[in-house]
Amino acid sequence: MLTQWSLGSQAALAELIPQVDRELHAIAKAYLRRGRGNQTLQPTALINEAWLRLLGQSQALRWENRAHFFGIAARLMRIVLVDHARSRAAAKRGGTPEAVTLDESMLLCPNRAPDVLEVSEALDQLAKVDERKAKVIELRYFGGMDREEIATALGLTVHTVKRDLRLGEAWLRRFLLS
């Protein structure tokens, strides 16, 4: 269905949406569960905004596989959350950004909880140093993919993914603590 959709089939897209909705909903709920209790964004709104951004692409994406699709969807959800956090801060007219913290198991920083904006900035900085490690971290922590899925999506070995996770997490921990 992903391939057919890439080729422009709206019927394939209509068939695909209900099939991936449950997994997208689980990813969205996990993102929002990691946030603070006063999060105003709901899982359905997060998914809908991600779909709008995905469908609004000027060129059709060529999907490599299922993992590629969910990796892109996870990245879009991260972008939506960052944009949402920024707009809430802007709405306060100069107030400090409201922290949308991640759950401790997702944290790379055990002593303090960085907000979504800090984690996003840290990932952007890591990408400047090592783009592959940033992609691995993003797929693991934002995409909810396991090591094997990441290896398949990026064409790496599981051992390389494990190493990239370990080194990327150490780099992010150092960046977030400085």
Per residue in 23-53, pLDDT tens? 888 888 877 776 654 467 888 888 988 888 8
DSSP state of 143: S
Contacts of residue 168, Cβ cutoff 8 Å, sequence gap at least 6 = 126, 130, 133, 134, 136, 137
Euclidean distance between CA atoms 139 and 66, whole angstroms: 13
pTM for the complete prediction?
Answer: 0.62
Give the chain's radius of gyration (CA, Å): 17
Domain boundaries along the sequence of the chain: 2-177
Asked whether the beta carbons of 158 and 76 are under 8 A apart, the reply is: no
pLDDT tens digits, one per residue of 127-141: 999 999 998 988 887
Asked whether the beta carbons of 132 and 154 are under 8 A apart, the reply is: yes
In this structure, of 67-76, 96-105, 128-137, the range with the lowest mean pLDDT score is 96-105
Q: At what angle do helices 116-129 and 158-177 cross, to 10 degrees?
A: 120
Provide the token pair at 77. 């959800």
